[in-house]
Structure 1
């Protein structure tokens, strides 16, 4: 039996994804739109969803919009901006009660879809520009979001690693854009960009819940119609020879942040992607991993240490917090764990344990409707079709030899260390 049954239909200018499930007492509507990351548009894109969710023609203030959400049995509306490989993705999510579980037979799903369409296609504007006050308010908030990365040294050090590692690549751009761009954005040029995005982006509508697929399709077709487009695809950059480099920054911090970036040379949907997942789990992904045991537990070198994959860019990041004077030793031990992986120095028990944790983690993600959307959206970003059953089967079937082979593909690119003022460089 399929883990998730997803129906996909081509609509006018977008794709409709319906997942019929009785798992939830709510229905979830998610609109996603993606475009290549560009220096020119990254900040406008980061601002746009927040302007759209704050008001619309029918609800010209945030309080009116929120009051209407309360009327819809406390429906939840939220937006998000994320980076998937070389793309910037805007997400609009609406979670609304399923009327089947209410005494009132009001057609809530239809009303939720109408509200989503209202926010997307009827913004509070004069059809040439957004409301000036709304844009200025959201610009201030965006500035705070960007500033927050600099204030949170764990996030900042990861951002700096990516900046250094992916110089001259779109992926080096921060998902929230550039603080210096914000003053140049106004209600007119943002509205122009809004029209461009809805004319060019690859767009997908996900409906998750106990719904009637035909009814959903009919309502979507009535509410949302856009011009046809060919999605702009980013060609993966050919990796040249990777030369290991070390970058150190000094700031007024109490704890050093050691972040190491690797090129995996494997992308989501590749044949050896499943082996890469298991490799990452054994290397640094979980609390039973080599990094956790050897860097943190045995040698007491790190306050935290873990590795994670960026599946659409072919990167693996190691993040750790260490004392300033433990830099050399921590790097040495991390490199030793990688050498152990390429030498096949791990047990069948480690493989089995890692596979079990990956499977549990995936199934846990599918316990929420938004988690389901995130998992299914991998196929849109990668332009591949991998069902969850294939994914699970591929991961379960991964052999030790395949894990060793994928480990040998992984290349250390950049070691980044955020150290204290006055600490030895």
Structure 2
């Protein structure tokens, strides 16, 4: 693994992360805007990336913006939003050619940085607000995005599991917002929220590529400045959820393949020392094709079309996904729970543990082969408020013992069972109980 250097500096209420690397022939700039999830603002926040991509003051249409990217030797630009723990992150990404590799071109990076700056700070406006036509059009785009999840039954089942499991918690808020909010949103509302975001969001800017650190640091801090910063008054604190018994929910739809999704509380997050043991636990349990869920639920007993698990590292959840025949619900659930029991009893070999470690390390190394992957890995530290480099992460994975994996497994509690089925499946009595 190549040596990864990250140099950070704070200026004008922005944290700049410079990552010099000769491994790539492009320069990647990513601006991350982080704010607490909040039901009252999430739909506006989800809508904002769609609006900002439609043009800037200098390039007032999506077509003109695309032509300018072509002029910058095919630079690529994207904006998206996602949920991490109890936060919502908007990411602005620009990949531009490194002028070192272009003859007689010394301004490509400068122009790229300025374009990204203007996309964020100088969007195209009409009468000092977002164009009404643009806002209305992009509301329809977001509405289609929100509704599309209903057709993706795996994603839908996962959303419904989180809805039920985290019903009274911040984490249940949908990162794409809510259709019922869209009609009331006007251009002036969106612009007011946009100005609020620029003032209140935690902002981190990453720049990765082959460059001179001091020169790039001076260049980027001169372009990206924050005139005003106001600490957000949104609260993230919430009470810990303790269930006396697991929550059980059945939903009936006209579907061929039932979805059995099960949520556990890990009582462990990225911030905790035993997170590395949890990471390996998940690999052994359901994270890889050699894991217990795949081998026993799918291959040995043929009870699932797929069966896997993943961890929500900033929230402390373990989610199991499985696609099953409706009539196989009870047997599939029983065998899934047997795999959890086996993990808590240490029923896995040293060779399985070492193989899983190698798979995790291989995944990290593969991520480090991509500029955006590197930035995402480093940004985990910001979300968790814990500094740990990829090299340290790998070292900690290698150190984990079997006893530590069993210890973290015993902390995991079943929280919610969600079954999306047809009328022939579970819940024949009409009750939401499985």
- Scaled by the length of structure 1, the TM-score of the pair is 0.97
Query: For structure 2, which runs of at least 5 residues remain unmatched after alignment?
Result: 428-434
SS at match of 2:95: strand
Q: Deviations over 1:165-187 (max 9, x none)?
A: 00011111111000111111111
1:213 CA drift (Å): 1.7
For 2:404 and 2:304, how far apart are their aligned partners in 1?
A: 30
Query: Which structure 2 residues correspond to residues 283-294 of structure 1 after superposition, within 5 A?
Result: 283-294=285-296
Corresponding residue for residue 130 of structure 2? 130
Deviations 1:375-417 (A, max 9, x none): 1111111111112222111111000000000000111100101
Aligned to 1:63: 63
Determine if the alignment matches structure 1 residue 78 to structure 2 residue 78.
yes
Deviation at 1:125, TM superposition (A): 1.4
SS at match of 1:161: helix
Show the counterpart of 2:343. Answer: 341
Q: 8 Å contact 1:32–1:89 — kept in the other structure?
A: yes
Matched, 1:171 2:171: yes
Shift of residue 221 of structure 1?
2.1
| Residues 312-363 of structure 1: per-residue CA shift (max 9 Å, x gap) | 0001100010000000001100000000000001000110000000000011
Stretch deviating more after TM superposition (296-305 or 380-389): 380-389
What are the within-5 Å matches in structure 2 for residues 8-157 of structure 1? 8-126=8-126, 128-157=128-157
* Counterpart selection for 1:380 from 370, 379, 382: 382
CA distance in 1 between partners of 2:395 and 2:205 (Å): 27
The separation in 2 between residues aligned to 1:242 and 1:286, in whole angstroms, is: 31
Q: Which residue of 2 aligns with 1:234?
A: 236
Q: Distance in 2 between matches of 1:78 and 1:260?
A: 33
Look up the match of 1:196. 196
Provide the TM-score with structure 2 as the length reference.
0.95
Greater shift, 150-159 or 128-137, is seen at: 128-137
Task: Measure, in 2, the Cα distance between the counterparts of 1:274 and 1:2.
Answer: 22
SS at match of 1:205: strand
Q: Which of 126-135 and 345-354 deviates more? A: 126-135
Q: Is 1:128–1:188's contact at 8 Å kept on the other side of the alignment?
A: no
C-alpha separation between the residues in 2 aligned to 1:3 and 1:266? 29
Shift of 1:292: 0.4
Cα distance in 2 for residues equivalent to 1:271 and 1:237:
22
SS in 2 for 1:177: coil
Cα gap change, 1:424/1:285 in structure 2, threshold over 3 Å: closer, same or farther?
closer
Separation (CA, whole Å) in 2 of partners of 1:269 and 1:46: 27
Distance in 2 (CA, whole Å) between partners of 1:404 and 1:3 is 33
How far off its partner does 1:422 sit?
A: 4.5
Instruction: Check conservation: 1:242, 1:413, Cα contact below 8 A.
Output: no
Structure 1 residues 390-399 or 227-236, which shifts more?
Answer: 227-236
Aligned to 2:224: 224
Deviation at 1:235, TM superposition (A): 3.6
Q: Please give the residue correspondences for 1:263-302 in structure 2 after superposition, counting only pairs within 5 Å.
A: 263-302=265-304
Query: Secondary structure in 1 aligned to 2:295?
Result: helix
Give the number of aligned pairs.
Answer: 425
Q: Secondary structure at the match of 2:263?
A: strand
The answer on whether the counterparts of 1:242 and 1:411 sit within 8 Å (CA) in structure 2 is: no
Per-residue deviation, 1:218: 1.7
Return closer, same or farther for 1:48/1:260 CA change in 2, 3 Å cut-off: same
Secondary structure of 1:34's counterpart equals: strand
- What is the root-mean-square deviation of aligned Cα atoms in Å? 1.4
Q: CA deviation at 1:126?
A: 4.2
3-state DSSP of counterpart to 2:302: coil
1:205 maps to 2:201: no
* CA offset digits 1:5-35 (Å, max 9, x no partner): 1111102121001110011111101011010
2:327/2:424 contact within 8 Å kept: no
Give runs of aligned pairs for residues 322-333 of structure 1, distance below 5 A. 322-333=324-335
Matched residues in 2 for 1:121 and 1:171: separation?
29
